[in-house]
Amino acid sequence: MTQRHDDSLDDFARGETAQVLARDRRTGELVFLAAGQASAVRPAAREHFECPFPGCDSPAPLTTRGGTYRDHFVHMSPHTHPGGPESLDHFQAKHLIAAWARERAAAACIDVVVNDEEWSPDVRRRPDVLATWPDGRRVAFEVEYKAYPVAAWTEKNADYRRAGITVVWIFGHSPARYLRPDNRIGGTRPEGAARGYRLGALTSAVVADSQPVLFINPVTSQIATLWSDGTPLTRRAPTPSGSSDSTLQRSGRQADRSRSRERPSTWPSPTWPNATCPQKEG
């Protein structure tokens, strides 16, 4: 991890919660509020946008706010989000993943169904996002913000495997919940160098299962990974990257490591259409 990543890592791992998604009532589409766009989006937000969070008791009207905080949507009347800030982070993260998968599916003209509300009864689980190929092969994306017991993770991971579903685990943007600071590195690192972390019990289990350790920050629209070829995962600083540095494959999310290590990047589009491939003739 290069020096230029250190500030972006701090931004990524701060654990900031902000509502960056709204639904446009005119189209039903989700709208992502990009940084610096609060003023430009405010008129449309007040007139046409609503809160998409399930169970919100006052979804409209909305406005936007910026200034010293990251630009975000704000309810103009008192409201309640069931589950609190962590549930909002989870909701926004899975919709970011779904939007990324839909865009990749459309760009490659692959008939992929992505539905973050779809049940998969053969594993008795409800994937956050499920991508389905025409031949029936599936990839499930699971976003975790809670402190997940290793035994529960192992059981859920095994259920997916028995069902023949590839599962990609993505943890919330509070790495301290899943990693332990490496004080030996942190106390002696050169000025500007990235702080180090050690794997916790759950992330160690993920690595032992030969899976990458991924984190998502829906506020900055970034993915961070501890997975790096040739680098021990027991002592590694997260490297943020964006969805434009990865592709959707039947094995899950595949990162372009040569690109993702050069710079952090963000999700490519502030508006996410429900794109589909044209039907094949015959």
Q: For 58-90, what is each residue's pLDDT tens digit?
A: 999 999 998 888 899 999 999 888 777 778 888
Cα separation, 166 vs 129, whole angstroms: 12
Which pLDDT score is estimated for 138?
85
Which pLDDT score is estimated for 174?
74
Nearest to 178, CA basis, from 224, 240, 133, 115: 224
Q: For the chain, give the mean pLDDT.
A: 73
For the stretch 5-45, pLDDT in tens is 455 666 676 667 889 999 999 999 999 999 899 999 999 99
Task: Name residues whose C-beta falls within 8 Å of residue 274's C-beta, 6 or more positions apart in sequence.
Answer: 29, 102
Take residue 120 and report the two structure tokens written for it: 């998969």
Largest CA distance in the chain: 66
**What domains, with CATH codes, occur in the chain?**
5-12+84-260 (3.40.1350), 17-75 (no CATH)
For the stretch 234-271, pLDDT in tens is 444 555 555 544 445 555 544 443 333 332 333 333 33
* The overall pTM is greater than 0.85: no
Q: Give 101's Cβ-side CA count (13 Å radius).
A: 28
Dihedral class, residue 210 (left if φ above 0, else alpha if ψ from -120 to 50, else beta): left
For the stretch 83-120, pLDDT in tens is 777 788 888 998 888 888 888 776 555 545 555 455 55
pLDDT over 70 for what percent of the chain?
Answer: 61
pLDDT over 90 for what percent of the chain?
Answer: 25
Which pLDDT score is estimated for 155?
94
How far CA 232 is from CA of 3, 65, 203, 237, in Å, comes to: 19, 42, 13, 11
